[in-house]
Amino acid sequence: MGSGDKAAYAEFCEQAAVPDYNRPWWLDADCGPDNWGVALAADKKGSLVAALPYFKHRLKGMLPALLQPQLTPYMGIWRHAAYHSGTAADRFTFDRKYIPELLRQLPQDRTELGVQCQDPRGEQVRQRGVGAGELLVVGDEAAALDGEDGLGRHGVPPPRVLLRRGEPVEGGVDL
């Protein structure tokens, strides 16, 4: 986003009563000046009617993602003040018109979480079973249960230690 968009967003924040957590000065401090942007929607007259700030981050330094900043409790779409005084039908129409416009302005290099289908190109695709030459890696099989209350080494249940009420336990436990 250019600095002009951020300046227009700062002016919009004053008119629309956007909370401090979503104002440019806060996002500069929390995200860094180059790590956040804003999508803006204008009406036919050219005045801003909605804004959607976002935080650009790279997961593990590689995967681009749009995330919630650490110190910002909430982010979302902010609409002009007259939005709330309209009828439910007016608000629905407004949202249907401007929300897709805001979403189209989000960066397109973000992570895609959808399923990617593979084209088998006429080949039969099947799951290969575990062969004799393959070793199982840690995590491939479930670990055995701890068996604290199970049978002991020789098939005998462990003895229960009976303590009378108020009797102190003496000494440490040798393992």
pTM: 0.59
Between 171 and 34, where is the model more confident?
Answer: 34
| CB proximity list for 157: less than 8 A, separation 6 or greater | 151
Among residues 8, 126, 22, which one has the least CA distance to residue 76?
22
- Pairing of the two strands 78-79 and 63-67: unpaired
Token pair 């000065």 in the structure block, residue: 25
> In this model, does residue 139 exceed pLDDT 60?
no
Least-confidence region, from 8-12, 27-31, 67-71, 100-104: 67-71
The pLDDT tens digits for 76-99 are 999 988 898 999 999 999 999 999
Q: How many helices (H) and strands (E) does the chain have?
A: 3, 4
Give the C-alpha separation, 40 to 9, whole Å. 8
Percent of the chain with pLDDT over 90: 42
| CB proximity list for 76: less than 8 A, separation 6 or greater | 52
